[in-house]
Amino acid sequence: MRLLLPLDCCEALSNVDYSKVDPSIMSPLLDYVDVTDSRFVAALLCIAFNPLFWNLVGRWEHKTRSLTHVFRSPYMACYCLGAVIVTLNFLRSHCFTEAIKRQPKLTFLDCLFGYYTSLAIMVVGTVFVTSSFLALGFVGTFLGDYFGILKEAKVTSFPFNILDNPMYWGSTTIYLGWSIMHASPAGLVLTAAVALCYAVALHYEGPFTEEIYRQKALKSK
């Protein structure tokens, strides 16, 4: 039996022969997506920053209760953070739209079928986002549990009985529809970035939230 020695974080990458990488496989993508465009870069930065921001602030608040002390109420602190997150999401959507305006279009999507398909996709995403917000409420949507405002039971009504984290995936679906409506491959790339950032965020949010409710259950015994 062969023993494998553990590698350092990026040690395995040192064994890759980058001279054999064929850059031509990227050329079809680069024909449609200008990754050097300043607006595209700004959109990517907004996409990456938003979930990072609310996760870091949420964990900091859970650990220190600093915002609760400043606003003298966990509810007021949560409302203010929620307002900041909403503002950041509007900024992200603005940067997303501005980025795809200056990028090339896919001709086969720039048609009536593509338009109506995008509308249908955006309607589905909007239903998931709206119904998720109504089921959770403002506080539940914007990290209320990180402020110590915990629900009595897990929400299992629509849309949570269909998929987990419908707010995130509904938002991603809206961006997908918006990209198709603009026949924008750059928009599709940015949508993939949104999905990736949400997936990474959920990797940390899920266990952290479960631990919050596990501690609550232990205290109630």
Is position 200 annotated in a ligand binding site?
no
Give the alpha-carbon dihedral of 141, 146, 147, 150, to 10 degrees.
70
Helices 166-181 and 112-141, packing angle to 10 deg: 150
> Please, are residues 131 and 190 in contact by the beta-carbon 8 Å criterion?
no
> Please, are residues 46 and 88 in contact by the beta-carbon 8 Å criterion?
yes
Is position 125 annotated in a ligand binding site?
yes
CA 146 to CA 79: how far, in whole Å? 12
Give the alpha-carbon dihedral of 67, 70, 72, 74, to 10 degrees.
-10
CA 191 to CA 33: how far, in whole Å? 13
Q: Is 113 exposed, middle or buried (0-12, 13-18, 19+ CB in 10 A)?
A: exposed
Is position 144 annotated in a ligand binding site?
no
Q: 44: which 2 tokens?
A: 């990517």
> Please, are residues 105 and 33 in contact by the beta-carbon 8 Å criterion?
no
Centroid of chain to Cα 161: 20
* 101 residue type, one letter: K
Binding-site residue numbers are 123-125, 205-206
Binding-site annotation: residue ranges for S-adenosyl-L-methionine = 123-125, 205-206
